[in-house]
Amino acid sequence: MTATEARTEQITVKVQPLTAEAFAPYGRVVESDREDLIMERGKFTARLMTVKRVPQMVDHVNMHTDHSQMFVPLAGDNLVVIVAPPEQTAETFDSTSIAAFQTDGTQTFIFHPGTWHIEPRAADKDSCQVINVQTDIFREHTTLIELKPQVRIQV
């Protein structure tokens, strides 16, 4: 088969509403109770991030083994959250395990340590802002993998 004949397989994931129950395998939706953040080393830091519109195709995911990570939406913008369960290793990662959720513009959420993800993305605009809370040494405990096959996100 020549390169021009090669066909890329792809998986389609339909975005579903973010609920605490549906999101439980990947993390927690922050409600009125206090929520613990988990870290092994370092200190938690917060930064203002501008995130882009949700991509049609996702070609990579990453995870942090040493800490939970929290995202706080700003300005009531809906976000798309793309995740996969934390039980998988980079070597055994299954692209069919990816799920996608859309926030209602007010929901803050926390990834469990080890949850595969990309940064949240704007659902309805070209970009929006979020507060990202994670450790200052996250790069030391991050694994990034390319997805094969790639995943198409259906909003």
Where in the chain are the domains? 20-154
pLDDT value at residue 8 = 53
With beta carbons less than 8 A apart as the criterion, state whether 126 and 50 touch: no
In the chain, % of residues over pLDDT 70: 95
Instruction: Dump pLDDT digits (tens) for 21-60.
Output: 999 999 999 998 899 999 989 999 999 999 999 999 999 9
CATH topology of domain 20-154: Jelly Rolls (2.60.120)
Give the separation between CA 110 and CA 25, rounded to whole angstroms. 11
Model confidence at 3, in pLDDT bands (50, 70, 90)?
very low
pLDDT value at residue 6 = 32
Q: Is 75 left (phi over 0), alpha (psi -120 to 50) or beta?
A: left
Residues recorded for the chain: 155
How does DSSP assign 110-152, residue by residue?
Answer: EEPTT-EE---EESSSSEEEEEEEEETTGGGGEEEEEEEEEEE
3-state secondary structure of 101: strand
Query: φ and ψ at 45, to 5 degrees?
Result: -130, 155
Instruction: Dump pLDDT digits (tens) for 67-108.
Output: 999 999 999 999 999 999 999 999 999 999 999 999 999 999
pLDDT value at residue 10 = 83
Give the separation between CA 73 and CA 103, rounded to whole angstroms. 9
Note every long-range contact of 23-26, with CB atoms under 8 Å and residues 24 or more positions apart, other chains counting: 23/81, 23/83, 23/101, 23/109, 25/85, 26/83, 26/84, 26/85, 26/86, 26/99, 26/111, 26/112, 26/115, 26/117
